[in-house]
Amino acid sequence: MTPNAHSALIAIGWALGGGVATWVLTIPLRRRSLGYVLASVVLVATVASVSAMVGSFRAMFIGTNELWTSVIVALAAGGVASISVVLSTRRFSKDNAALRDVVADIQHGRIPADGGRKLTSELEMLRAQLANAARELTESRERERAMEASRRELVAWVSHDLRTPLAGLRAMSEALEDGVVESPEIYYKQIRVEVERLTNMVNDLFDLSRIQAGSFAVESEMVALDDVVSDCLAALAPLAKAHGVELTGRSGGSVAVNGDGRELSRAITNLVANAIRHTPAEGRIEVKVEAVTNPPQAEVTVTDACGGIPEDDLPRVFEVGFRGEAARTPLQNGGGAGFGLAITRGIVEAHDGSVDVRNVEGGCRFTIRLPAARAA
């Protein structure tokens, strides 16, 4: 018998009734797990199919035998679908277990291992994203630990360096107050020197905080780098003479960069002053500025005769507060609080440049690289 519209509507109504009723009855199951959700879908589809058959057969007055045959066929198809659901549920359970292992690794601060159980493409992408997130979190924690260790080390060093001049200031002020000083002008001069040193330390700390906060701004203008180096050498010549160090400089010609001349002078001065402090008497320091064509850069090199830096210390030279074994008490020889090289790096990087250090025969060589100024 050819089905008509009336029979089709009846079949649809029976299917909707059976499907909706089964969907409502299986709501508690769907809340338990993904496997029950799949089982509910199969059960709803099977009941809806059987209901549609019953309704259409009744409307078309088909015999009972044919009806039961069709129902058995539908139930058999539902059974096959149920077996498929069971197998899929087992796979989903194993996939979920694999993802739970990844989450557990992240919770315990571990990076999930690569490979493992083969997942579906969507879950594989999720596992890869979780692994990347774990790596980023681990790297972030390591950076935080390193920064915290550096801060603690810096506080310890600054506390030590402040204690010495403050104790000296207190002793000199008490001596002046008690009137036991034969030449007060000497004490006044020394007090001024110590106050100046403390002021410089505070200024350095302020600049470091700006550099680390990313708020260290520099003015941009055309700067003749060879002139900056020449001025630095002239200013530091008395210090080099006092230490018995020969300070020389040479230039490969006019070298121009865009930047803040005052800050660049400070960065170069820090390098040269550091070289003077660590070069023994009768040693030689050479400062050279030249242009590099590929890529267009300006380079300033400071080569000293300090005897070299231990290889393990080279990566830490520009860290805040780092001084190395040879300079644990720099205030006794006119040094600072270990901020100079860190400030130099901050200034150079603010100019889109770089600074590094490597050992050479008899000493070490610091190199500042800055982008060359573009011709107008």
Q: What is the CATH number of the domain that holds 295?
A: 3.30.565.10
- Residue 228's contacts (CB-CB under 8 Å, 6 or more residues apart) are 261, 264, 265, 268
In-domain check, residue 135: no
Q: Is 51 inside a domain boundary?
A: yes
| Nearest C-alpha neighbor of 282 from the set 243, 309, 330, 249 | 243
When mean pLDDT is compared over 262-266, 293-297, 364-368, the highest value belongs to 364-368
56 and 165 co-located in one domain: no
| Residue 348: closest CA among 359, 338, 340, 358 | 340
Nearest-CA neighbor of 372 among 357, 349, 352, 344? 352
Confidence check: pLDDT of 200 > 70: yes
Here the CATH number for the domain that contains residue 153 is 1.10.287.130
For residue 209, what pLDDT band results from cuts at 50, 70 and 90?
confident
* 123 assigned to some structural domain: no
pLDDT at 6 over 60: yes
Any idea which of 44-58, 171-185, 250-264 has the lowest mean pLDDT? Answer: 44-58
User: Which range has the worst mean pLDDT, 72-81, 283-292, 348-357?
Assistant: 72-81
Instruction: Please give the DSSP secondary-structure letter assigned to residue 320.
Output: T
The model's pTM is 0.57
Do residue 44 and residue 156 come from a single domain?
Answer: no
End-of-domain residue from the set 53, 76, 107: 107
- State whether 67 and 157 are in the same domain: no
Instruction: Say whether pLDDT at 176 is over 80.
Output: yes
Distance from chain centroid for Cα 227: 37
| 114 lies in some domain | no
Residues 225 and 362 both lie in one domain: yes
User: What's the residue count for the chain?
Assistant: 376
Res 266 pLDDT > 80: yes
Do 313 and 191 belong to one domain? Answer: no
**What band does 276 get if pLDDT is binned at 50, 70 and 90?**
very high
For the cut 80, the answer to whether the pLDDT of residue 211 exceeds it is: no
Average pLDDT over the chain reads 77
Tell which of 51, 77, 107 closes a domain: 107
- Residue 251 and residue 357 share a domain: yes
296 lies in the same domain as 337: yes
Whether residues 207 and 251 fall in one domain: no
Domain that includes residue 29, residue range? 5-107
Task: Name the band, by pLDDT with cuts 50, 70 and 90, for residue 221.
Answer: confident
What pLDDT is attached to residue 83? 62
Q: Which band of pLDDT confidence, cut at 50, 70 and 90, is reported for residue 369?
A: very high
Q: Which of 212, 230, 246 lies at the terminal end of a domain, its last residue? A: 212
pLDDT of residue 172: 86
255 — pLDDT class (breaks 50, 70, 90): confident
pLDDT given at position 335: 47
Check whether residue 282 and residue 249 sit in a common domain: yes
- Same domain flag for 328 and 262: yes
> Does 65 score more than 80 pLDDT?
no
Query: Do 319 and 195 share a structural domain?
Result: no
Asked if residue 116 belongs to a domain, the reply is: no
Distance set, CA 253 to CA 221, 226, 266, 291 (Å): 19, 8, 21, 8
With respect to residue 337, please indicate whether it lies within any of the assigned structural domains. yes
Confidence band of 82 (pLDDT split at 50, 70, 90): low
Q: What pLDDT is attached to residue 1? A: 45
157 near 328, Cβ under 8 Å?
no
- pLDDT at residue 76 in the model: 66
Residue 334, pLDDT above cutoff 50: no
Q: Is residue 121 part of a domain?
A: no
Residue 297 lies in a domain: yes
pLDDT over 80 at 45, yes or no:
no
30-34, 232-236, 337-341: segment of lowest average pLDDT: 30-34
Domains of the chain: total = 3
Q: Is cis: bond before 315, omega within 30 of 0? A: no
DSSP 316: G
Contact 239, 275 (CB under 8 A): no
Same domain, 316 and 366: yes
Contacting residues for 26 by C-beta, under 8 A, at least 6 apart: 36, 39, 40, 43, 44
